Amino acid sequence: MLACGNGMSTSLLAKRMQDAADKQGLDAVVFAGAVKTIPSEMDKKHPDVVLIGPQVRYVVPELKEKLDVPVEMINTMDYGMMNGENVLETAKKLVAASK
């Protein structure tokens, strides 16, 4: 799951990540939403990792305490460039490290 203030800017990045995952043949579902939707999305979709847009980085420490999955801020450069491949690699590493 990707999250930002309203889920708008992360939606494009999620699409690019999904395209990269599909290209790699990964069984992955990448989706975006607003930070305020994270609790309900955790209940509904059970994401393996939550990546937060740089503009709302202040929520990362609180989410790390509350959630039982890895939570990190998306690299600012990758976010600005909408580099779905790099952000997907970050997500894969976080999931692998949590197992």
Query: What positions carry a catalytic annotation?
Result: 4
**How would DSSP label each residue in the chain?**
-EEESSSHHHHHHHHHHHHHHHHHT------EEEGGGHHHHHHHH--S-EEE-GGGGGGHHHHHHH-SS-EEEPPHHHHHHT-HHHHHHHHHHHHHHH-
